[in-house]
Amino acid sequence: MSDLPPRTALLRACRERDRSCDGLFFQAVTTTGIFCRPSCPARPARAEHLQFYPTAAAALQAGFRPCLRCRPLEPAAPPPEWAAALLARVDADPTRRITDADLRQAGLVPATVRRWFQATYGLTFQAYVRARRLGAAFTALQQGQSLDATIGEHDWESHAAFRSAFTQAVGRPPGTARHGEVMRLGWIESPLGLLAAGVTDAAVWLLEFADRRLLPAQVATLRQRSGLPLLPGEHPLLEALREQLADWFAGTRRDFDLPLAAPGSPFQERVWAALRQIPYGQTRTYAELAAALGKPGAARAVGRANGLNRLAILIPCHRVVAADGGLGGYGGGLWRKLRLLETEGARPLEHGHTSAAEPCRPCLR
């Protein structure tokens, strides 16, 4: 609850069926056991019967089932018009600051903007803009622009402010940018929610669901393993990844032909290599994977390595299931694992379900 707006604001959004709050939180009705989007057209429940959750996964884990009217597990609605306009404004000129005063002048409430960006991208709007400015500045320095020109053209108040922000984000002073590589971070929309991705000129290093709790730790490990600064920005490999993921979710692609970088311990790397050998549409148990590695007693260790995989879908850890036929574990949420397997036709719906959007407890065991 600490990550949510005040309860009065949550209740007001549900009462007004505010679509701009879809994705910011979910409402759950204790009397029916159902959870919904804030904009759900169903008759609103009494306030004392409502609980609120920051993610659909949290509502599922609390024992609520998804609403059949608003379908909160279905692909998220497009960004609200104001958010799309802000994103376009930043993309058009990532070198410029956009202050809270600028937002108010555009008729926006800074707190609402902050919450939407925090829920969607995992950082506030101001942090998003600042990161994009740093990324643009890094690119300019790499292309040979002088430090003075970069500071002036990217709207920094002073040399000291730019050096401090750059060094904190990149881990080294701006003067070294011309001789260094950077990892570009971007976001990818998918039918199962937003994905965070990280690429260099050579390979894809990160693909993870943005709401996964382990993501910050994965990013920290990635920074340590790669030795590179991580900055938001676009890259041709990010666009190629978007296109191939869209084809995969549409069922027109089975394999990915993108270069991957997955450094880890020797055992982790063996597990991740073995995962890539599981054919599309098939599954293996943790024990079977351990046996294939010559470690028949290492099923738990295989499970831990799966959980530390930083390349969801590309290294298909979702294809490993429990020995009893249950889903086992999945860091991105068991409901996502079920949907990923069904996308490949690897796991038929059970117990009479007609949609993976509403799996029952036996299906999620």
**Catalytic positions, written as ranges:** 36, 317
Amino acid found at 196:
A
What tokens were used for 141? 């320095």
Is the CA virtual torsion 270, 271, 273, 274 positive or negative? positive
Instruction: Answer yes or no: are the C-beta atoms of 70 and 37 closer than 8 Å.
Output: yes
To which residue do tokens 């159902």 refer?
Answer: 34
Assigned token pair, 289: 């994977």
Query: What's the rounded Cα separation, in Å, for the pair 88 and 85?
Result: 5
Instruction: Answer yes or no: are the C-beta atoms of 163 and 174 closer than 8 Å.
Output: yes
Burial class (CB in 10 A: 0-12, 13-18, 19+), 158: exposed
Nearest to 248 by CA among 305, 213, 207, 284: 207
Integer Rg of the chain from CA: 22
Q: Report how far residue 98's alpha carbon sits from residue 104's, in angstroms, rounded to the nearest whole number.
A: 11
Q: In what order do the strands lie in the sheet with 65-66?
A: 50-53, 26-29, 34-36, 65-66
